[in-house]
Amino acid sequence: MSELVRLEVEDSIATLRLDRPRMNALNTELTEGIRAAAEEASRRRDVAAVVVYGGEQVFAAGADIKEMQPLGYSESLLLGGRLQQALDEVAAIPKPTVAAITGYALGGGCELALACDFRIAAEDAQLGQPEILLGLIPGAGGTQRLPRLIGPARAKDLIYSGRFVDAAEALRIGLVDEVVPAAEVYATARRRMSRYVGAAAIALRAAKEAVDRGLETDLATGQKIERALFSGLFATEDRTLGMTSFIENGPGKAKFEGR
């Protein structure tokens, strides 16, 4: 894993920590570090949930423009593919994830936040997809994940204009889920993820897959995906534990084992 990215695990919550001074610009090394850290978080059984965090000052201010500027067509295909792959790996983490956003989440940084299940922003945070101001469009999921999250018209407004969105507007349009003082962003993100520690991990995995795959298809196909995943959970020990505990002790008291 890159020295620019750390995966720190405490009390079953992993922090995928970006640490490239000064603005966490997404260069090749940082991108590869994100991919590797997301893959590790996915496979580790001691990780129940993940916080993606850029530190107290900034989440990620976008791609490294100095690295991108001299690229031609073929090189840009490779660079864009690596960034897409890294953020797809974050989106595919089969556990709850939250972006803890301080400072700027712009361009690729905003796309990284979009790859998470939830987003918590500091009161002074700013988000956006300003690629149009460079003569480009978002290239790591922004044109796809953003309209699925906030609707096509609002997504087009942000993508076409390249304007920044403050935390209050981001909350109003559904781009973030919660706004808190900057000093409380990380702690709030950890508290949100703590509710999944000790939960039915296989059922959470199935729920995430059902929602994410269902959004990519029509309703009838989505329901088939849901039905298959629902039925499959009847083969797990957690389902037996959950139903037995419900019958014997009432709801919410089961102790799950992740099997």
Torsion 163-167-173-176 (CA) sign: positive
Contact between 196 and 112 under an 8 Å Cβ cutoff? The reply is: no
Told to judge if 111 belongs to the known catalytic residues of this protein, a careful annotator would answer yes
**For the segment 146-185, what is each residue's pLDDT rounded down to a tens digit?**
999 999 999 999 999 999 999 999 999 999 999 999 999 9
Structure confidence at residue 81 (pLDDT): 86
Structure confidence at residue 67 (pLDDT): 84
Going by their DSSP bridges, the two strands 126-128 and 104-106 should be labelled as: parallel
Single-letter amino acid, residue 237: E
**Alpha-carbon distance 18 to 20, whole Å?**
6
Structure confidence at residue 80 (pLDDT): 80
- Side by side, the strands of the sheet bearing 5-10 are 5-10, 13-18, 49-53, 97-101, 118-122, 178-180
201-249 maps to which CATH number?
1.10.12.10
Tell me, what DSSP letter sits at residue 130? G
The one catalytic residue among 111, 184, 216, 248? 111
CATH superfamily of 5-194: 2-enoyl-CoA Hydratase; Chain A, domain 1 (3.90.226.10)
Alpha helices, DSSP H, located in the chain: 28-43, 65-68, 73-91, 108-114, 142-150, 152-161, 167-173, 185-194, 201-215, 219-232, 237-249
Structure confidence at residue 74 (pLDDT): 85
pLDDT along the chain (259 residues), means of 10: 90 97 93 96 96 96 86 83 94 98 97 98 98 94 96 98 98 98 98 95 96 95 96 94 91 87
Q: Residue 6's CB: how many other CB atoms inside 10 A?
A: 16
The one catalytic residue among 8, 40, 131, 209? 131
Is 5-194's fold the same as 201-249's?
no
Domain ranges of the chain: 5-194, 201-249
Single-letter amino acid, residue 20: R
Q: How buried is residue 134: exposed, middle or buried, by Cβ count under 10 Å (0-12/13-18/19+)?
A: middle
